[in-house]
Structure 1
Amino acid sequence: MQTRQAANQSRGHTLAKGIRNTHSQRVYSTRCQQHEAYSSAVTNERPLDLIVFGATSFVGQIICSHLVSRHGTDGPLRWAIAGRSADKLAQVSAETGADVERIVADATDAADMGQLAERTRVVLSTVGPYALYGSELVAAAASAGTDYCDLAGEPQWIQQMIDLHQGTAEQSGARIVNACGFDSIPSDLGVWFTQQKSMQQFDEYCRMVAMRVSGLKGAASGGTFASMINVMNDVAANPKLRKVLGNPFALAPDGMRHGVNQPNVTIPQHDDVSGQWVGPFVMASINTRIVHRSHALLGRPWGDDFTYDEAMLMGDGPLGAAKAAALAGGLGGVMGAAAIGPVRKVLERFGPKPGTGPSPEAQEAGYFSLRFFGDTLSGDTIRTKVTGDRDPGYGSTAKMIGETAVALLDLDRTTTAGGLHTPASAFGGGLIDPLVEHAGLTFSVVD
Structure 2
Amino acid sequence: MAEEKRDRYDIVVFGATGFTGMFVVQELVGTLQDSASKLSVAVAGRNEKKLKQALKDVESRSGLSTSDIPTIIADVADETSIDSMTQQARLVINCVGPYVLYGEQVVKSCIKNKASHVDISGEPLYLDGMQVKYNKKAEEAGVYVIGACGFDSIPTDMGIVFLSRSFEGEVNSVETYASTQEGPESIEEKLSREFEKLHRDPIHTGWCLPFPSCDRSVVKRSQYYLWDKERKRPIQHACYINIGSLFAALAITVWAAFLFLASRIGFMKKLMEDNPGWFSFGKFSHSGPTLAQIKGATFRVTCIGKGWAAHMAEPSDRPTTQPDSTIVAEVKGPDAGYVGTSICLVQSALTVLEEKDKLPNKGGVFPPGAAFYHTSLIERLHKRGVTFTITKMSTPPPEL
Task: Give the TM-score normalised by the residue count of structure 1.
Answer: 0.72
Specify the alignment match of 1:128 in structure 2.
Answer: 97
Is residue 430 of structure 1 aligned with residue 379 of structure 2? no
Q: What letter corresponds to residue 366 of structure 1 in structure 2? A: A
Does the aligned pair in 1 maintain the 2:201–2:208 contact within 8 Å?
A: no
Does the aligned pair in 1 maintain the 2:95–2:120 contact within 8 Å?
A: yes
Specify the alignment match of 1:310 in structure 2.
Answer: 239
Does the aligned pair in 2 maintain the 1:268–1:324 contact within 8 Å?
A: no
Is residue 296 of structure 1 aligned with residue 224 of structure 2? yes
Q: Distance in 1 between matches of 2:241 and 2:200?
A: 10
Specify the alignment match of 1:210 in structure 2.
Answer: 175
Q: Distance in 2 between matches of 1:113 and 1:147?
A: 14
Q: What letter corresponds to residue 358 of structure 1 in structure 2? A: P
Tell me the alpha carbon deviations over residues 12-39 of structure 1, each in whole angstroms, 9 at most, x when there is no partner: xxxxxxxxxxxxxxxxxxxxxxxxxxxx
- Cα 1:280–1:334 change in 2 (3 A) is farther
Does the aligned pair in 1 maintain the 2:196–2:210 contact within 8 Å?
A: no
Give 3-state SS (helix, strand or coil) of 1:95's partner.
helix
Specify the alignment match of 1:101 in structure 2.
Answer: 70
Return the offset for 1:354.
8.1
- Cα 1:358–1:281 change in 2 (3 A) is farther
Specify the alignment match of 2:196 in structure 1.
Answer: 267
Return the offset for 1:46.
4.0
Return the offset for 1:415.
3.8
Specify the alignment match of 1:345 in structure 2.
Answer: 270
Is residue 365 of structure 1 aligned with residue 310 of structure 2? no
- Cα 1:140–1:441 change in 2 (3 A) is same
Q: What letter corresponds to residue 427 of structure 1 in structure 2? A: F
Q: Distance in 2 between matches of 1:341 and 1:419?
A: 41
- Cα 1:90–1:314 change in 2 (3 A) is closer
Return the offset for 1:49.
0.2
- Cα 1:415–1:270 change in 2 (3 A) is closer
Specify the alignment match of 1:411 in structure 2.
Answer: 355
Q: Distance in 2 between matches of 1:308 and 1:374?
A: 9
Specify the alignment match of 1:238 in structure 2.
Answer: none
Q: Distance in 1 between matches of 2:383 and 2:358?
A: 26
Does the aligned pair in 1 maintain the 2:92–2:118 contact within 8 Å?
A: yes
Q: Distance in 1 between matches of 2:33 and 2:148?
A: 26
Q: Distance in 2 between matches of 1:119 and 1:412?
A: 19
Tell me the alpha carbon deviations over residues 366-388 of structure 1, each in whole angstroms, 9 at most, x when there is no partner: 00112111111532111111111
- Cα 1:196–1:337 change in 2 (3 A) is farther
- Cα 1:133–1:314 change in 2 (3 A) is closer
Does the aligned pair in 2 maintain the 1:270–1:276 contact within 8 Å?
A: no
Q: What letter corresponds to residue 66 of structure 1 in structure 2? A: E
Return the offset for 1:341.
4.3
Does the aligned pair in 2 maintain the 1:58–1:354 contact within 8 Å?
A: no
Q: Distance in 1 between matches of 2:350 and 2:201?
A: 40
- Cα 1:4–1:386 change in 2 (3 A) is closer
Of all paired residues, the percent bearing the same amino acid is 27
1:51 pairs, out of 5, 12, 15, with: 12
Give 3-state SS (helix, strand or coil) of 1:436's partner.
helix
Q: What letter corresponds to residue 395 of structure 1 in structure 2? A: V
Q: Which runs of 5+ in 1 are unaligned?
A: 6-44, 233-264
Q: What letter corresponds to residue 92 of structure 1 in structure 2? A: A
Q: CA RMSD in A?
A: 3.0
Aligned residues: 356
Greater helix proportion = 1
- Cα 1:328–1:196 change in 2 (3 A) is farther
- Cα 1:274–1:330 change in 2 (3 A) is farther
2:151 pairs, out of 158, 170, 182, with: 182
Specify the alignment match of 2:38 in structure 1.
Answer: 76
Return the offset for 1:164.
2.1
Q: What letter corresponds to residue 298 of structure 1 in structure 2? A: L
Q: What letter corresponds to residue 296 of structure 1 in structure 2? A: Y
Q: What letter corresponds to residue 333 of structure 1 in structure 2? A: F
Q: Distance in 2 between matches of 1:134 and 1:354?
A: 23
Does the aligned pair in 2 maintain the 1:277–1:314 contact within 8 Å?
A: yes
Does the aligned pair in 1 maintain the 2:201–2:207 contact within 8 Å?
A: no
Task: Give the TM-score normalised by the residue count of structure 2.
Answer: 0.80
Q: Distance in 2 between matches of 1:84 and 1:186?
A: 31
Q: Distance in 2 between matches of 1:303 and 1:266?
A: 31
Q: Distance in 2 between matches of 1:358 and 1:276?
A: 27
Give 3-state SS (helix, strand or coil) of 2:227's partner.
coil
Does the aligned pair in 2 maintain the 1:277–1:324 contact within 8 Å?
A: no
- Cα 1:293–1:400 change in 2 (3 A) is same
Q: Distance in 1 between matches of 2:270 and 2:232?
A: 43
Q: Distance in 2 between matches of 1:104 and 1:131?
A: 22
Return the offset for 1:414.
6.1
